[in-house]
C-alpha cells in the first residue's frame, strides 16, 4: 500500500521526533534528519543543510552528491531563503534568477530557514530531478520537520 503524501509526512515526522528525542547536538540531529529525509521522501537527489557562518552559508550534513561548499547570502535559492527568512518552493530551478547549479540533475528545490531561538541558523535544502516535485503539502510537512529540529536544538 502506498501512503498519501500527508500520511508519509506524518510517519517521517514521528520518526524524526524519535531520532531527536532528548538529543541537543546540532550536527547529530542534522545528520540524522538528512538521512531520514533522503531515505523516506521520494524523488530526491539531495537532502541536507547549510549553516550560516560569517554572512554566508556553509555546507552542513547532507545526503546526496557532493555539493557547493559556500553560498553567499542572497544568492541562489538557499541564499535567498536565508537572507529573507522565507521558505522557497521552486518548481523549476532553471527559471529562478541566480540559481546556483551544484548538481545539473536538480530541477526543483525546497528550502526552509532554520532558526535557533530567534536567530537564523541556516537552511534545510531538498533537491529533486523532477520539475514540480514540491508542493504545498511538502512545504507543510518539511516545516513540521524544521519545527521538530528547532525544538530539539533550542
Please give the domain boundaries of the chain with CATH numbers for all domains: 5-153 (3.30.450.40)
Question: Each residue of 65-113: pLDDT tens digit?
Answer: 999 999 999 999 999 999 999 999 999 988 876 666 666 688 899 999 9
Residues 6+ apart with CB under 8 A from 110: 87, 88, 89, 90, 125, 126, 134, 138, 139, 142
pLDDT above 90 covers a percentage of the chain that reads 84
Measure Cα distances from 7 to 27, 36, 94 in Å. Answer: 27, 15, 30
Measure Cα distances from 89 to 10, 21, 22, 55, 131 in Å. Answer: 20, 28, 31, 23, 11
- The C-alpha cell at 88 is 522557497
Tell me, what's the pLDDT at 106? 85
In this prediction, residue 1 has a pLDDT band, given cuts at 50, 70 and 90, of low
Of 65, 64, 77, which is closest to residue 35 (Cα–Cα)?
A: 64
In this prediction, residue 143 has a pLDDT band, given cuts at 50, 70 and 90, of very high
Is the four-CA dihedral 34, 36, 37, 42 of positive or negative sign? positive
CA distance 44 to 20: 22
CA distance 79 to 75: 5
> What's the mean pLDDT in 107-136?
95
Amino acid at each position: 500500500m502506498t501512503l498519501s503524501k500527508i500520511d508519509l509526512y506524518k510517519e517521517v515526522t514521528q520518526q524524526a521526533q524519535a531520532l531527536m528525542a532528548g538529543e541537543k547536538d546540532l550536527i547529530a540531529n542534522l545528520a540524522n534528519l538528512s538521512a531520514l529525509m533522503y531515505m523516506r521522501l521520494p524523488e530526491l537527489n539531495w537532502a541536507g543543510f547549510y549553516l550560516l557562518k560569517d554572512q554566508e552559508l556553509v555546507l552542513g550534513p547532507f545526503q546526496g552528491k557532493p555539493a557547493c561548499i559556500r553560498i553567499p547570502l542572497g544568492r541562489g535559492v538557499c541564499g535567498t531563503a536565508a537572507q529573507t527568512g522565507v521558505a522557497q518552493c521552486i518548481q523549476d530551478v532553471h527559471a529562478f534568477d541566480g540559481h546556483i547549479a551544484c548538481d545539473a540533475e536538480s530541477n526543483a528545490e525546497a528550502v526552509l530557514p532554520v532558526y535557533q531561538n530567534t536567530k537564523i541558523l541556516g537552511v534545510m535544502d531538498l533537491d529533486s530531478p523532477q520539475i514540480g516535485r514540491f508542493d504545498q503539502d511538502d512545504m507543510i510537512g518539511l516545516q513540521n520537520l524544521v519545527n521538530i529540529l528547532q525544538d530539539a536544538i533550542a
